[in-house]
Amino acid sequence: MWLFRRFRRNKILRENPLADTAWREVLADHPILAGLAEEEEGRLRELAVLFLHEKIYEPVQGLGLTEPMRLVIAVQCCLPVMNLGQDWLDGWRTVIAYPGAFVRKREQFDSSGVMHEWEEAVSGEAWKLGPLILSWADVEASGWGDGYNVAIHEIAHKLDLLNGEVDGFPPLHRGMSAKAWNQAFSAAFDDFNRRLDAGAATEIDPYAAEAPGEFFAVLSEYFFELPGLVFAEYPEVYRQLAAFYRQDPLARMERVRVANPPAEG
């Protein structure tokens, strides 16, 4: 099975080469892709080609989805699994792209049993075994190194869903400790909620406090976009995310910083 998949993937890669110019452009346009080691960049490029080949893009509401736009989505979705492999994106095929935020009906019973309904604008959704849904405007606003990344957020939910619900507990690798993961994340989640309740300032999006699953997805965005912030605020969470994603974005950014020292005035 493994050999067959490998063979098929090599064939897809051979038959669907990605132009160097297109690849250079997407790298140059996304600061969070700076500092990748050569072999990492090669892996990310292969994953993006496979993603473009295997996922079905469905633009809706009149969105014109060009080849460069498809590549931008593919690269941002593949970055979290760059060192995990394409299998982690298995089990679903469709990427639905809206031009901007889209409206979802929400309903909830309150404590007295009354049903409340309201509409909410969302920038992305991830369904178990179902589509990945993204707002293109939000994908365009992602990847700048400012902490916001809708594609990484929704892919984090997809990885979390691989072993059940969106609960902030994705399948961990051999050698990782479920206890250490739970300790790091619950302590950080509780602390974050306490700080918000106390009105303390934080650079992390308060949406992370909604639920443990959202905390994992939002912290994953910051891990790739602003790793220094995660490391400064919750170093144990940074270590767990680095072990899970098998990446060290902080070291990447440090390499970029050393290679491009600020001009002295």
Stretch that binds Zn ion, among 99-107, 189-197, 214-222, 247-255 (CB under 5 A): 214-222
Task: Please name the residues in contact with 262: beta carbons below 8 A apart, sequence gap of 6 or more.
Answer: none
- If binding means CB under 5 A, how many residues of this protein chain bind Zn ion? 2
Residue 237 sits in the site that holds Zn ion (CB under 5 A): no
By CB under 5 A, residue 219 contacts Zn ion: no
For residues 69 and 211, which CB has a smaller minimum distance to Zn ion in the complex?
211
Q: Work out how close the CB of 127 gets to Zn ion at its nearest, in angstroms, rounded to a whole number.
A: 12
Distance, in Å, from the CA atom of 237 to the CA atom of 185, rounded to the nearest integer, reads 6
CA distances 166 to 4, 95, 154, 259, Å, are 32, 19, 11, 39
Among 80, 5, 98, smallest CA distance to 50 is for 5
Binding of Zn ion by 156 (CB under 5 A):
no
Least Å distance, CB 265 to Zn ion, is: 42
**Residue from 217, 219, 226, 230 that binds Zn ion (CB under 5 A)?**
217
Q: What distance in Å separates the CA atoms of residue 222 and residue 228, rounded to the nearest whole number? A: 9
Nearest-5° angle of CA 82, CA 86, CA 87? 130
In the complex, least distance from residue 157 CB atom to Zn ion, rounded to whole angstroms = 6
209 binds Zn ion (CB under 5 A): no
Q: Count of CB atoms within 10 A of residue 95's CB?
A: 22
Tokens of 20: 């160097």
d(Cα 101, Cα 173) in Å, to the nearest integer?
A: 34
Tell me the window of 12-20, 45-53, 171-179, 211-219 that interacts with Zn ion (CB under 5 A): 211-219
Is 97 a binding residue for Zn ion by CB under 5 A? The answer is no
Quick check: 159 binds Zn ion (CB under 5 A)?
no
Shortest Å, Cβ 18 to Zn ion: 30
Chain position whose Cβ is nearest to Zn ion: 217
The residues of the shown chain that bind Zn ion, judged by CB under 5 A, are 214, 217
